[in-house]
Structure formats: structure tokens, C-alpha cells
Structure 1
Amino acid sequence: MKTTVNYLKDICHKHPTAEKIIIVDSYAIGEQIINGLVKEGNEVINLKRKTVREIALEHIELHSDKHFDYLENAVGIQLMYSILKDIMKKASFSYFTDLEITPSFSRAMFETIQKLRLAGFTSTTMKKDAFITLEKGDDIHLILKKYEETLIAYRLMDNADLFQHALEISNNSSSTIFILQSNLSLSYLEETFLKSLLPEKSYKLPLTKLYGVSTPNYSPIRSISWGDESVYSYLYDLERASCNGEISLITGKTEEMEVKGIIHRIREQGKSLDECTIFYTSTLPYVTIIYQLTQKLDLPVTFGEGIPVSYTSTGRFISSLLNWMKEQYSVKGLIEFINDGSLNLGVGAPSKTVFIKILRDAQIGWNKGRYLSQLDKQILQLNDKLTGDVDNNKKEYLEKHYNNTVWMYQWFTKVFKKLPNTDGIINTKDLIDAVRFMVTNYCRMSSLQDEAAKTAIMEEVDKLKPYLNEELNPYESFEKIQDMLLTMSVNQSGPKPGHLHVSNYKKGIYNNRKNMYIVGLDNRKFPGTITEDPLLLDKERKNLGNKFPLLRESGLEKQYTMLQVIANAQGPITVSYCNFDINNNRTVSPAHLFLQCYRMKTGNINGDFKELIQSNSLERYADIMDEHDYWNCYLSSDEKQVLDDELLANYTNLLEGMRGDDKRSEEEFSVYDGLIHLNPEHFDPRSNKEKTMSAGKLELLAQCPYAFFLQEILRIRPIEDLSYDANTWLDAATRGSLLHNIFETFYKELKELNEKPSTELHEEKILTIAKNLISKQKEIVPTPNERVFNKEVIDILQCCKIFLKEEEDYCKDYDPEHFEYTFGMEGFPPAEITLPSGESFLVSGKIDRVDRSMDGHYHILDYKTGSTYNYHDTKPFKGGRQLQHFIYALAIEQHLQLSEGSVLESSYYFPTVKGLGERYTRKQDETVRANGLDILEKLIDVIKHGHFTMTDDENDCKFCNFKSVCRKESYDKGIFDKKQMTEDAIGVRKFKGVRAYD
């Protein structure tokens, strides 16, 4: 950089007052060059930095009377999307016929067309036979032609038009002093324009000379002017190097540790942040890591390439908003939106906790209309309670709850007026208008970065709106808006006083800070894998001509650029790499350039990678910067660690967890395995006549006592939200309830008519009943879309037909008498079951149907709408998991005061498409009754003793709600078996006795 500064200083001395323009690749590079000159104490008069595009724009404004709007990239991508969609719709492609037109493909095609046009090609000059197939050439030509027509139609000028027009009116009569950046990155049209503009004499800023490497082959105007050499000029010619430079080598096990090593060095050495620059070789993951780390440490930092908009509150807000819309405004999606923290509900809003509770209590599920109808119901119910006789304390609570619910109703009314329906075709303009409205009014701003991101996004929306009017399906609409708004980078900045600067190494040649840090020098990231561009292959680029850059040469250019960055360093250099790939669980080697740095540092010019990795010159950063690192040190170590008492004293929960794990690994059944001390007078239903059991609870106890303990003793419940699923309307339980309701309603109507089911007479009746109840269910649970709804309706109606056909044959010998027979619930008294011990307990339940045979005996039916997988003719109890048939037989006899044995059989009946009308009948004979009563006695003894062991069958865990709580998979199989044989674990042995029954 000193060479550049001295050269520029001489020019300024020669031409102190003349206009001097440095032609650079970017504003940031020009700023670095001028800042470097100023930092050396030089006065600068009339010195400007401009890109070739800026010069062309000024030239047109001064010398042309044509008026065009300049094409923004975002608008260009949108226009390309429309062009591609239109061509695909007309089936005019011959090469890209099978491709899906996505926003990312549109972006890639737009960039390809820009490259072609900047290379000087138009639809009339581009050679179709330059492409690998004539079909591809035809398609590219067609796209290029449509693109040119679109620009004319909208009176837009892209960069190619800009340079072409500037070239037509260019002249080099200006007295301006032009100073060129070495190694300018120029397209064919940019270079042609610049040649026409430059006077005979212009200057070129020199770069530090490099030795031992090949210089990329550039045209004269893009060539490199050589200046002085530095110690690092000999990085690839070490035999001629005069000294070893000032290089530090760092490695870390993860990219995060690598970056932390750099931050630690800056802090430890007391470096001023505004004298430090971190260059990365790969945007991901380094920008993410550096951003998060500097935010956590509250370090002021600037990013040369900016940060992804998704890191800001505005970006998170848009992402959460679109996800909520995608799920058709599901409550689950809104809760995630609220918990994200980017949503500001506004003045007077209930607290986050209250807001979420009201949403869940309202049972909205999803769909805009459901929010208003369900909240309105809540308001009416609360109003009824308030007008009733309530005490003052409860009244105060109800009034607050009422006011919060009314506020929410009004908020959703206002918001949903601006938000589009998302269950069908969506107009992209309406969607982006909705995003703008929500961001403007409800996005939480917590920093200047958030404000900057909001401004940038709003500007992008304003640019795009005039060109948006597609009618797309929801998937395409959301993908398009996400691509438009969430792929942006914001807060791009040059180096600022007092700030650490972070940038891509490609922008670092003119870095003028003393301390340079380069991260990501592993063999994966630098120089990186060279891949072909499928839209414009190297072979095609070569055939096209006009000095089209070839991708196979990009590796050499990357290496040369990095060497120039290092050679121009103002002071010490630190290079680092990550030595482990966590995703693929393998070690990673450093880049060859890193090896060269090691060779220069140590003077061992023939050193290899093995020596480098084993060398003391390579610092392995593993220091602890925060608590997260402390635990990572233990987790990443191959050796077992013993945590000291002082540490555990500060982490009592950790100590308890360790004690629990130790106890779980012992052979004795303990409190950590389900052994608890409870009061039998309260929990044993034989002692506590206020406590009723149900078939479901007893079956859960038989399936897994530990799950029963969590659900019935600790009262743990999973949160039950109506979850949106784009491919499902009704979950299994709701669908089953709907079918039960259809069958019950159908039979009640037949009973009033005193008729037996007949396919010929009653098919229309049952289908009408089904359709009416489906319509009511649709009001309760909104459909994700009509396709899914219609599919499920067809299946439900088919189930009704199967049911009717089966019932027609079955009812020749039976008469249905009771439907949804209820006991112990809804005000009906419970049934009482007497056990072999003489003790009794109360049960509650609801029997789907009770039939009576022609000979006067009873038959209990329980409708099942799921799979028949777990039901077998030879396993009436299935280890206690199927008790309902037996319990209901005893209950109905006791409740109806029937003689013992009146219920001869109970059936699990599957009147569905999946079940095909299958029936699994359990004869209620003496053996079944004796075995069933023994099972019930043993199960209640499990409760009495408080021995809630975990199931001994892993199949019981597959669909359990408590898997994350019990962690049964952490047990050693042998230890688990021994625990269940503990001598004093009477309840466990009772449970094992239940398991013995098929």
C-alpha cells in the first residue's frame, strides 16, 4: 500500500488543482485508497474515486438528451422471471423444457444475460452455434431477444445499454487526470468505453511486485503496474526471501473457535480495533460467526459486504410473517412469530403470555376467518359470565380477560383487512403490499441496523411494485417474495474509525490498516472448488469470444488476489484455518498458501503439511472466552473429565442430573426409575371413592406405568395446538370422533323410524348425515385447502358405505339399543367393579354401542378408525393394553343391573376403508372375566405401591407423548431388566404379572 500511496502523492503534487479521478472497481476500494493517502498526512484537493459505471452515467447526463430509467438488479430479476414464465407457458423452449421456473433460476438467467450483453452480444450478434447444442443456443437467443424487447417496452436501460450509449457519445477531450486501479475488473463493453474516454496519457496505481507465481493474462488497460516489493513478495519464492516477515499461524477445531482465536489475539495484544481488519475466504459461515460474536461482546464492527438481512429484526420479522402466512395464519405459526421477538403488537396489547393463552383457549387452529369467529365466541362467553353473579376478585379477572380478548379481536380485524387469503392463487403485488404494511406498523426496531434494514427493504419493495402483478400459487408466491427480500445484504460499509473491519479478501488489496487477519485458509475454502456454470460453460464462453472470462482460470485469479493482499500488508499478518469438519466428522487440512506462510515464518522452505501440523509455530486456539467454550472444551475432548466440587456447587441442577444418571445405572429400582412414595388413601381408587378410573387410564397404566405416573400423578400434559398441515385436514382423533358422530346419528334416526339398516334404502340417508356433520366440522377445524378437504371427504363417505353394508348383514341377528352409553361422566353415575379381593372401585366411560341379540344377550361394540395392526383374535388382553372390552362388559351389566354373563361378547369394530369392516370379538366367558379381574387388581396394586416402572417393550414408546421426559433409551438393557427384579419392588412384579396375559 505504501507504493500506491507514494505514487498517488506524486500525481497530486504534479497536478495539485486539476480534477483527478481514480477509476476503481468499487466505491469501497476508492475510499481505502484515498484514506490511505490522507492517513499519511497528505493534503488532497480535487481527488475523486469513481467506478466506470459512474463515469458512464455522468457522461450520458452531460452529453445526451435521451431519458431512460436505469434497471435495478431486483427489477431485472423480476422481469426475467416474467419472461421465463411466459416462454414456458407458450411451450417455446426446446432445451430448458423440463426446468422449473423458480426465483433462483430467474436470478441465474438474469446474471447470464447480463454477462452476455456486457460482453457486447445482442440477439442479432450472438452466435447460436457457440453453445453445446443448437437447442440451447436457440433458447438463450429467445430469452435474450425477449429481454431486449422488455427493456424497450418499459423504457429501461441496463448496464449494457448504459455503456453502449455512453460509447456512442464518448470523447476524450476532457482535461481530467485519470488514474487507473491496477487489475481493474472490466467487461468487454466497460473496457471499450474506458478506452474511448481515456486521454493518451493516464496513470495506473502500482501494486507490490510478486515473485514465484504466474501473473494472470490481462489486457493492457486491465494490466498491473508494478511498484516496490515487500518481504511478502517472496512468499512463493522463499529461496530469495531476505527475511521471514511477521506471520502468526492459528488453527481452531471449529470456525467459531478460529474466529474467537483472532478476537482473543486482538484483545490480548491491546490492538486498536480501527487498526485491524479481518478478511474471510468464504462468506458463510464467517460473517454469521463474526456478527454474532461481536454483537455478544459489544464490539463495534463494519462489514464490507454487509450482513444478510435475515440477521436483523426486520429480516426475522418478514421471515416469521411469511411462515405464518404459509401455514394459512395458523396459531402455531403466530406463536412462533410472537416468540421470535420481532413482532411489536402495539399500544395496549396484552402481555405475550396472555396473548398466547387466549389464542390457544380460543381453539382457532388456522384461517383468517376463524380468528374473528372464535374470539367473538370467547367475548360473548366472557360477557355472559360478567353479567352473572360473580365475586369481585373473579370479576376483576374476567374484566381484564374480556378487555384483552376485545383488544385482540380489534387487532386481528385491522390486520386481516391488509393480509391476503393464502389458500389459493395469490397476487404477488397484494402479498408484497401486505408485507410492507406489516413491517411499517408492527416490526420491532431495536437498533440502527434494524432501521437501516427496514429502509433498504422498503426501498426494494417500492422498486419492485410497479413490475409485480403475477397470479401464483401459494408456494410460488412465498418463494418469490422470500427471494426478493430475504436474500439481500444490508449495512455494507467501508472501514470506520473505532470499528473493527470485516470483509472478503478480494476487497483487501488496498487495505491500509496495520494489522491483518485472514480466516478460512483451509483446503476446502481456498481457493475453493472450480465448477462450471451450467448456463454458460467455459467451452461456450471460449466459442463466443470477446475475452469472455473462463471459470477454470478463476482459481489462479483468486490465488493472485490473495497474494497481493498479503504483499501489500502494512504490518503483522495472522492467518488461520479450521482443522475439523463437524458435519462430516473428519479432519481438514490447511490450504497450500497456509503451508507457504509456515515455510516463510520458520525458514523451513521444504516443510510439509505433516511438519506444519506438528509444529509449535502453529497456535491451536482452545482458550475459554465464555461459558459456552467452557463446556465445549469438555464435550470435544476424547478423555473423560471429572468436574470439581466447586463447579458443581454452582450448578445444583447439573449435580442432581448426575446423581440421577448414576442411580439409573445401578441395579436397584429407585426414585429415578419411577419409585415414589404416595398416599394410597388418595391415589388408590379402592380407598378413595371420589376417584374414578377409566378404561383408557388403566390401559395406559398397563402399557407403561411411568407414562401413567407422568400423566395422572404429576398431571403433565403436552401442549395441544391445532397444527396446520398442508396435506391433512383432520387428525386421527378428530376424524374418529366425526365418524362416531355420523354412525350414532344414523342409528338414532333409524331407531325412531323402527327400521334396520339397508344399503338400498339408507345409503342416501347416511351420506346426507355425513355431509351435514362434515360441514359442521369444517366450521370447527378449517381445511388447509380444497384438494385435501375433498380427498378426506371421499374417504369418510366411503367409510360410511362400508359401515352400512356391514351393518345390513350384522343387524339380521342384532338390534342396537344404546348409543354413546355414558357412565361416570356428564352427570351420570359411575359403574362399580368388584375385584377378587372383595374390594371395589369406580369406573367411568362412554360405550359407542350396546346391541342385543335375538336370544336376549348383549354385545358391546367399540368403533375403531385406525389400523388393525395391534389387534389379534388370540390375544384378548395384549399384556393389559386392551382392557376396554372387558371393563365395558362389567360396567354395563352393573349399570343396567343385568345378571352376570348377560354380555356375551365385546368387539373392536373397524368400519373404515383401512379396516375394511374387520371385527375383533372378545368372548366374555369365565376365563376372560377371571383373568381380566386379576389384571385390574394387579394394576391398582401398582398404584398402591407407587412402583411406576417403565414399559419393557420399546414398541410402546413409538408414539408416546413423554419420550423426551423419560429418556428410556439411556438405560442399559441388562441393568433395566435387573431393576425390574428388585426384591422389594412389589408393584413392578405386579406389572410383570399383567404382562403375562395375552
Structure 2
Amino acid sequence: MGTIYKHSSPFLQAAQTLLKTRKAQAIAPTRQTAKRLKQLPYSLTSLAAELLWQKGIRVLNPLEQYRYFKQAIAATLNPTDLEGTVQTWRGAIQELLQTSRELDALKKFETPKIQQLYQVIHAYQAQLEADNVVDSAAALWRAIALEPDLKTLCIYGYPDPRADEIAFIEAIAAPDSLLYLPQVDDQPLFSPQAELIKRLQGKGWQLDDSQPETLTLGDRLSQKFFGQNSVNFEPKTVQAHVYPNWEAEARGTLGQIKQLLQQGVAARKIAIVTNEDNHWGPLLLHVAQEYDVPLSLPNPISLQKTRLGAWLEQLLTVIETNYSFEVTAQWLSHPLTHPLGREFWQAARTLKPNHFEAWQALTQEHYQWDLAVLQPPQQGSFLVWREYLKEILNVLKVRRRALPWVTETVAYKKLIDGLDSLGTSLTETMTWEMFQAEIRTSLQLLTTPAYPMRGGVGVHNPQNLIGAQYDYIFCIDGAEGVMPRPLRDEPVLDFYTRKQLSDKLPIEGAIAKARREQFQFYSLLQVPQKQFTFSYSTLGQGEGRYRSQVASIYFKKLGLQPKKTSIAIAASVAEARQFYLTQSQIPTELQSETLDQAIAAHQIEQRRLQKSALDEYQGLIGVPFPWREHTFSASQLLQLGQCPFKWFAGKVLKLAALDEPETTLEPSQRGILYHKVLELALNAYRENPDLDLTDFEQLKAWFIEAEDVLKLPELSAWERQCTEHIQTLQRAIAAPEFLPEGRHVFRLEDKIQFTWQDFRITGYIDRIDQISGTNELVIMDYKTSSSPPKGIQDESGLLKIDLQLPIYEASVQHQYPEFQVKQNLYYSLTKGKKLSSKSPDEKDLQAAGDRLKIHLEEGSYPVAPDKKYDACKYCDFKSVCRINQEEQE
């Protein structure tokens, strides 16, 4: 039979000699292992799939496999949450399919869970056999059943083979085959390998125990790992670092790699290794791009996590929500959608389209772009739905827009191939709900490399580097609880269930899983040839939270003591600029307008945090405002009196709050709407006093008329909201204090223009009533709140001086000298009652007006809200003034 090699060097020499004869097939599952044999990747599963294909049996792709499995779960378990059950059970079923060819042994167990496992597997395999297809997890066992012809194989990259892999090797390997199977005598870690070697020797395999001529760095690391304390390393060949956090670890690692690249080391000879490659990938890529380090992320990610996947899921949500404003605006803003200009978005923010026809009119008006392609069919076969989606992709030129990103280009091909593969298996008529569920599932199951780059520094998990060789290995995130990964009980195949099954099946239990995890790290130690750097950070993150971390036990086993490290040389222009923010001397090559602006901004921020003397960045601009020439409203003076910076930001700097999409009317819009409805109602009442102002249908007519005049934005569920608004107004009008006997409406929305304490004032008074038979007037100001409005600051810094009603009273006395103001009041439309307020005396009003003038004349608008920070509660400019939350509390 074949030959087993315990050491990689003799095996590689023998394998390359044999492969040159072209009489052998190289078996190496990954690109990294295949490179050692100077061959292309080709796994045992690939060989099994080829053999099955020759016999007319096809291996399922992930989408087909999921669909068959879903049908089996539905037929046997019929769970209430079908999708959730499929997700939970899928991994357990595939592990059992790999474990053994004969799973009828499951019938002998009386445990309900194991009985269910058997029922699902039996139904699943029956469906597959009926259609002459096979799950990839069972491909090796199915190929063995074919009794294939023997082949000469050079098998590398399977140092810790599973049961199905061992059985397949035994079934197909010709007598002149070669197998690399590492084994160290008297080490419990290698007990499965020792047993397998003994078993294969019993079947005629020979053992080649020849030793390598020289020990590599990996060999010495392995010896140290097994407790040979006499092993020493050359200076700087093995290093251990500790960092304060993930970002520092990423920057420290990539900084060292950049130095190697600058020394002439090829990027392809360097690798970063982590158990959490999916979590670390985005951070490493961000820092690598800043450092100008070529980085490759070959780890597979679901299409759901790509730009294309996000774009497609947003499109499905747009159609599901019937083109609601916020969701549709997000989708239209996506880089894979048709680019839209400033004028379009200005119009969209103003109109807030909230259904298909409104968006259609807007896109056609600005771009002659017809959204009709998005309208889905009522129902149809999957082929109909597939062509519908492809038409959208073609019309919007998504493939061309994805070209700037390699990941998205690959993801696009994966998506199209996946959709095409389902064309023959999905034959039933599908509704929109069924189709969008199928697409969402496809986005979860289909994968693409996270960031492929030929020749870049690769980020790998240890499993992918088994059998590989790199000059420099940087193993990051080496914290306890991360490396080795902790054992986790699974919901279906928990450790107790595994222990039960181990009597009949060669399934891995807790001890075997822990051993395999440790063996994986041993295999990693074989990879580096020149330098091995091991690091961890004391502050980790995961599952949405931060956690304190300590060094992995592997540091101790390697005799390493992690040390704090810092790279004195900035690895990027951005880091250099950050350093020179606080330096007086700046190198000529770094001097730029960008750095000058950053230094100025940093100094401004320091002064703010140190609470030093106020300057122009805290509102003290020192430029007098021509207030005598300016016309103010009462609300403007109110803002100035509550917080000078608040008025300055809005009226001088012309800042405004971001126009966020709303599901309900904003408070200011609601107030304007209520005012308009009451104006229409009371004008009609003045013409016809017999009208019932509280009649719902009549109020509704005025409400609709006010809507039309004001051009309010379209909101979801507006019809229901309208009813609530009308009922609120109905209660407010019916209240006795709204229009009491003995009073009639004198003026509505009365415009005022006059001078108050030398301020030119303009505005509108909501309503002025006249007491019947007298020359006395009552001023009413409507409020949608349930409490009286805050005034401006008094001398103690509290909002106690009401400014609005005194100004209104003075204006009415000026405008109607023949009348006397008997009363002024705030009326709550939500409570239907008068709000109590205290009128300030003339001395307080005069002092308040003088304080306002000082701010304007001196150009002094400090961030100085009232002591209770009431002025900050509904302020749009908190991100500008950055008032301290600690101070408010």
C-alpha cells in the first residue's frame, strides 16, 4: 500500500518527485497547502464530487441543500418557526452525515431528540436519493459506496482527518500513494494520529520516519510547545506583545508589517492569523489602507454583508413598505443605485414622497428615470421572479456600478450563479412574500471573499494555514477565551447527546473538540520560517460589549512574556499629523493647509475643554449686530434671552436642524396646522354664528382645507393621525374657556408692527377677543403644549421673565389706542384650558431688554443657557455648542 510520512520535508520531496511523473493526483484542500506542492487546490471532497458526477450524481450547492433540508424539517418536525429550526438543526445534521455512512444506529436510541434527528436525516436522504443528488457533507461516504478505482494520490493538508476522510483515503488510495500525517511520539495530542498510523500499517501502508536535515523555526516552536525548555530562539525571531485595545493591536501589527515591506520583504511571505478573522477584517483593512499596506481578506462572508447584499435587502424593504420616504431615500442614496443630484434631493426633502407614484413622478421629472421596473408581478414561477430581478439589475446597471470594488464584483457573480442554480429546483408558483424570503435566504447562504487581493498580506484563521509556509506570521488576538476558543454547547448536539451517540457513532465529544482546537494551534506553529509574533490586547470586544482580557495559556507554553510595545515611527501621514498637532516644529514635508486647519481646530477644542476665556468659537465674535435696523419677532428675542448662542447659531450663522424623515407632524408643524384650522373655523363662525364649531364633519372639512393650503409632508398612517388631531381640536373648542359668553372674536392672526424698547417688532397674534359692550380686549396665544412656555433669563439665570405676552400687549395698545387690554393669556389646545402665567413688572422687562441689547451691541453670544438647562431640551444646536452632559445633570 501507500507510504505515510511523519515529517513534512521528506514528504514534500517525495511528493514533488512523484507528481513530476504525472502519474499522481495532488490532494491539497487550500491554496496555501497546494502552493507547497506547486499545484492547484483540490480536496478530497472535490475528488469525491468528480467521481459522483461521472455516475450521474450531483453534489448540492448551499442554496439547494438548504431547500431540501427545509422540506425535510417541515415534513418531519413541522415546527412553528420553520426558518429558525432549519438554521438551528442544519449544522448538527451535516456533522452527523460526515460522521458515519450508516446512521440507522440512531434508531436504537429512545431519546426523543435522537429519534427526531433520525427522522429528519432519513427523510432528508430519501429526498436526495430520489433526485439522485447528495449533500456535500455526505459526499465522501457516497463516493466510497461507488467502490471507485484506486488512484495514486499525494495527500497533504489533512494532518487531523475526520472519519469520512480516513475512510475515503482507504477506499481510493493506490499502493504508491503518499500521505502526510504528523505524529510526535509520547504526546497525547497525537494519539488519534498514532492510532491511525497503526491501523493503516495493518492494511499494508508503510511508515517513513525520516527526519528533516535541519530544524525550522516551526520545528523549534513545536518543541517548546511540548515542554522542551532547552530550546532557545534567535533574537527577534519570536516576539510577544501586549496592546491596550484592538485598534492599537491592529496598528502595532500593521506598523511592523510595513517596516518589513520597506525592507524588501514580499507581502505574500507575510500572514496575519486570528481565530476571529471575520471580526478583525474590517478594522485591519481600514488601518492597512491608511498605512498603504496591501491586505487580502480571503475569509468568506455572506452576501448579506456586502454592499450588493445591503442594496438588495433595502430594495426588498422599499417594496414591502410601499416606498415609504425614509427607506426609499436610503436605497436611492446607495452607491449601487442611479446617482441623483442636489436638486433631486432638495425636492425630495421638501415633498417627502411616501408612495410609488410620488417617487415615480419625482424621478421622471428630474432624470426621466422610470421606476416601473421595480413593480413586482403578482405571482409567477421562480423563473419569472428571477428575470424580474435580473431586469432591475440590468436597468440600474448594478454590475457596472459594482466594478470599483472587487468584493462586489465577485458577489454579483455569486448571486447570479446562485439564482440560476435554483431555476430547475423551484418550480411552484411563488408570491412576492415567497420570493423575497427566498432572496433573503440566498443572501445569508451565498458567500464571497471579504476582500480578495492577489499578492497582499493575507488575514487567515489557523485552519486555513494548516500545512502552509510563510516567512513571517503575526498571530493576533491571543487572549484567553479567544485562543483557544472555549467549548460551547450546541442546541441540538449538546455534549450530553454527543456522549450518548459516541457508543454507536465516531462523533466528537468535548475532549476531542478541545484536542482538535489545540492541535490547530500546533499546526500553526509549523508555518513560520523566519519570525513568529504573538500578541493580544487587554481590552477586547465582542457580542456588542467590551471585556477585559488576559494572555492565552499558549504564551506560557511557548515560554513567552508579552511586553508593551510602541512604534516610534509614524506608519502613515495621518499618524504623523496627529503627533505634530501639539508640536511647535513641523517637518517641511508635512506642512500643509490640512495640518494647519487640524492644529487650529485642536487648539480651539483644548480651550473649550479647559474652560478658559471665551473666544469667537464660543460665540464671542466681537462684531456688533445692527439691531436697530433689524426686525425681530417675539420668538427671536425669546431665543436670545434664553441662550444667546442659540439665537446666534440660528439667525446669524443660519444653521438649521437636519431634515429627518418623520412619522408624525413635528411640533412646529402641528402648531401651524392647528392655528390654520382655527383661523378658518372662527372666520366662518364670524360670518355665521349658528355654525357648530365642534361638529366633527365640519371640523374635518376645515382641516382638509388647511392641509391643502399648508402643503404638509406626506406621512404614514396619516388618516388615523388626522382623526386624532381633529378630536384634539374638537375638545379644545368645546372647552368653556375657548370662547366664553360675553366675548366675541375681534381679530384673527392679526399682524403687528411696532417698536418695543427700541426693537422693531413684527409678528402675528393668534387671536384678539373683545368683551361685548366694552372697549376691553383679551389677547389669546394658542399653544400645543400642556404647560406655559418658558420665558427668558432673569438676573439669577432662571427662565422666569415672560416676554411674548407683554410684547403682544404693548403692540395691541399701540395698534388699537382706543381699546384697553383687559387680559392676555396662553390657551392650551391639547388640554383645552387656559395656562397660568405670571406677568413680569416693567422694571424686569426693562432690565431684560437692556441685557438683550448688550449681547447684540458687543457681539457677545456665549453658550450660556439657564441654570436648569431648560433652553437645551429642544435645541437643534447641541452638536455645535457641545454643552456638557455632566453639567446638565
- The TM-score normalised by the length of structure 1 is 0.72
Q: 1:868 to 1:419 in 2, by over 3 A?
A: farther
Match of 2:855 among 929, 942, 967: 942
Are 1:247 and 1:574, in contact at CA under 8 Å, matched by a contact in 2?
Answer: yes
1:596-607 to 2 correspondences below 5 Å: 596-599=557-560
Residue aligning to 2:178: 203
Which is worse superposed, 106-115 or 662-671?
A: 662-671
Residue aligning to 2:556: 595
Deviation at 1:201, TM superposition (A): 7.0
Are 2:160 and 2:181, in contact at CA under 8 Å, matched by a contact in 1?
Answer: no
Deviation at 1:910, TM superposition (A): 2.2
1:508-527 to 2 correspondences below 5 Å: 508-527=465-484
Residue aligning to 2:747: 818
Distance (Å, rounded) in 1 between the aligned partners of 2:46 and 2:146: 15
Residues 415-466 of structure 1: CA distance to partner in whole angstroms, max 9, x if unpaired? 35325699xxx99979955764546366242254443332223323433566
Does residue 952 of the first structure (1) align with residue 881 of the second (2)?
no
Does residue 678 of the first structure (1) align with residue 623 of the second (2)?
yes
Match of 2:470, SS? coil
Distance (Å, rounded) in 2 between the aligned partners of 1:472 and 1:880: 59
Distance (Å, rounded) in 2 between the aligned partners of 1:782 and 1:221: 75
- Alignment root-mean-square deviation, CA: 4.6
Match of 1:904, SS? strand
1:52-201 to 2 correspondences below 5 Å: 52-62=44-54, 64=55, 66=56, 70-77=59-66, 92-93=78-79, 106-120=86-100, 126-127=106-107, 134=112, 136=113, 144=121, 147=124, 151=128, 156-159=133-136, 162-163=139-140, 165-171=142-148, 174-181=149-156, 183=158, 191-198=166-173
Residue aligning to 2:640: 701
Q: 1:119 to 1:866 in 2, by over 3 A?
A: farther
Does residue 454 of the first structure (1) align with residue 412 of the second (2)?
yes
Q: 1:654 to 1:296 in 2, by over 3 A?
A: closer
Deviation at 1:694, TM superposition (A): 0.9
Are 1:303 and 1:492, in contact at CA under 8 Å, matched by a contact in 2?
Answer: yes
1:627-666 to 2 correspondences below 5 Å: 627-630=573-576, 643-646=583-586, 651-657=595-601, 660=604, 665=610
Match of 1:714 among 645, 653, 656: 653
Distance (Å, rounded) in 2 between the aligned partners of 1:795 and 1:535: 50
Deviation at 1:591, TM superposition (A): 1.7
Are 2:671 and 2:784, in contact at CA under 8 Å, matched by a contact in 1?
Answer: yes
Deviation at 1:679, TM superposition (A): 4.3
Does residue 273 of the first structure (1) align with residue 267 of the second (2)?
yes
Does residue 802 of the first structure (1) align with residue 735 of the second (2)?
no
Distance (Å, rounded) in 2 between the aligned partners of 1:905 and 1:421: 65
Match of 2:507, SS? coil
Deviation at 1:212, TM superposition (A): 5.3
Residues 173-209 of structure 1: CA distance to partner in whole angstroms, max 9, x if unpaired? x352134447466665555555444457753214364
Are 1:701 and 1:708, in contact at CA under 8 Å, matched by a contact in 2?
Answer: yes
Are 1:859 and 1:905, in contact at CA under 8 Å, matched by a contact in 2?
Answer: yes
Residues 544-594 of structure 1: CA distance to partner in whole angstroms, max 9, x if unpaired? 342122355333212212212313544433333334437877763322222
Residue aligning to 1:51: 43
1:521-560 to 2 correspondences below 5 Å: 521-545=478-502, 546-560=505-519
Q: 1:850 to 1:141 in 2, by over 3 A?
A: farther
Residue aligning to 1:608: none
Distance (Å, rounded) in 1 between the aligned partners of 2:74 and 2:825: 58
Are 2:798 and 2:866, in contact at CA under 8 Å, matched by a contact in 1?
Answer: no
Are 1:757 and 1:804, in contact at CA under 8 Å, matched by a contact in 2?
Answer: no
Does residue 440 of the first structure (1) align with residue 366 of the second (2)?
no
Match of 2:765, SS? strand
Residue aligning to 1:605: none
Match of 2:91, SS? helix
Q: 1:491 to 1:357 in 2, by over 3 A?
A: same
Residue aligning to 1:20: 24
Q: 1:271 to 1:240 in 2, by over 3 A?
A: same
Residue aligning to 1:850: 768
Are 1:736 and 1:865, in contact at CA under 8 Å, matched by a contact in 2?
Answer: yes
Does residue 747 of the first structure (1) align with residue 682 of the second (2)?
yes
Match of 2:699 among 762, 766, 770: 766
Are 2:799 and 2:866, in contact at CA under 8 Å, matched by a contact in 1?
Answer: no
Q: 1:667 to 1:168 in 2, by over 3 A?
A: closer
Deviation at 1:666, TM superposition (A): 6.5
Match of 2:238 among 234, 244, 247: 247
Distance (Å, rounded) in 1 between the aligned partners of 2:117 and 2:845: 77
Residues 868-889 of structure 1: CA distance to partner in whole angstroms, max 9, x if unpaired? 37579xx9x9736743323223
Residue aligning to 1:903: 821
- The TM-score normalised by the length of structure 2 is 0.80
Q: 1:122 to 1:848 in 2, by over 3 A?
A: farther
Q: 1:550 to 1:930 in 2, by over 3 A?
A: same
Does residue 485 of the first structure (1) align with residue 443 of the second (2)?
yes
Q: 1:557 to 1:852 in 2, by over 3 A?
A: same
Distance (Å, rounded) in 2 between the aligned partners of 1:210 and 1:363: 77
Which is worse superposed, 319-328 or 250-259?
A: 319-328
Deviation at 1:700, TM superposition (A): 0.8
Deviation at 1:283, TM superposition (A): 0.8
Residues 312-369 of structure 1: CA distance to partner in whole angstroms, max 9, x if unpaired? 6645655776687788656666776677655453xxxx7x445544544x43354332
1:392-403 to 2 correspondences below 5 Å: none
Are 1:287 and 1:307, in contact at CA under 8 Å, matched by a contact in 2?
Answer: no
Distance (Å, rounded) in 1 between the aligned partners of 2:728 and 2:656: 32
Distance (Å, rounded) in 2 between the aligned partners of 1:868 and 1:123: 73
Q: Which runs of 5+ in 2 are unaligned?
A: 201-206, 213-218
Residue aligning to 1:217: 192
Match of 2:95, SS? helix
Q: 1:701 to 1:294 in 2, by over 3 A?
A: closer
Does residue 415 of the first structure (1) align with residue 368 of the second (2)?
no
Distance (Å, rounded) in 1 between the aligned partners of 2:489 and 2:607: 59
Residue aligning to 1:228: 211
Residue identity in the other structure for 1:566: L
Are 1:252 and 1:622, in contact at CA under 8 Å, matched by a contact in 2?
Answer: no
Distance (Å, rounded) in 1 between the aligned partners of 2:189 and 2:577: 47
Distance (Å, rounded) in 2 between the aligned partners of 1:866 and 1:84: 56
Q: 1:234 to 1:454 in 2, by over 3 A?
A: same
Distance (Å, rounded) in 2 between the aligned partners of 1:731 and 1:477: 37
Residue aligning to 1:34: 37
Which is worse superposed, 797-806 or 808-817?
A: 808-817
Are 1:674 and 1:706, in contact at CA under 8 Å, matched by a contact in 2?
Answer: yes
Are 2:495 and 2:510, in contact at CA under 8 Å, matched by a contact in 1?
Answer: yes
Number of aligned residue pairs: give it. 842
Distance (Å, rounded) in 2 between the aligned partners of 1:495 and 1:115: 32
- Percent of counterpart pairs with the same letter? 16
Q: 1:625 to 1:458 in 2, by over 3 A?
A: same
Distance (Å, rounded) in 2 between the aligned partners of 1:176 and 1:847: 96
Are 1:530 and 1:552, in contact at CA under 8 Å, matched by a contact in 2?
Answer: no
Q: 1:168 to 1:295 in 2, by over 3 A?
A: same
Distance (Å, rounded) in 1 between the aligned partners of 2:281 and 2:464: 15
Deviation at 1:235, TM superposition (A): 1.6
Distance (Å, rounded) in 1 between the aligned partners of 2:852 and 2:450: 68
Distance (Å, rounded) in 2 between the aligned partners of 1:515 and 1:9: 23
Match of 2:536, SS? strand
Are 1:853 and 1:859, in contact at CA under 8 Å, matched by a contact in 2?
Answer: yes
Q: 1:565 to 1:143 in 2, by over 3 A?
A: same
1:269-418 to 2 correspondences below 5 Å: 269-306=263-300, 314=308, 317-318=311-312, 341-343=335-337, 345=339, 352-360=341-349, 362-373=350-361, 406-408=365-367, 410-411=368-369, 414-418=370-374
Q: 1:777 to 1:486 in 2, by over 3 A?
A: farther
Are 1:314 and 1:439, in contact at CA under 8 Å, matched by a contact in 2?
Answer: no
Residue aligning to 2:204: none
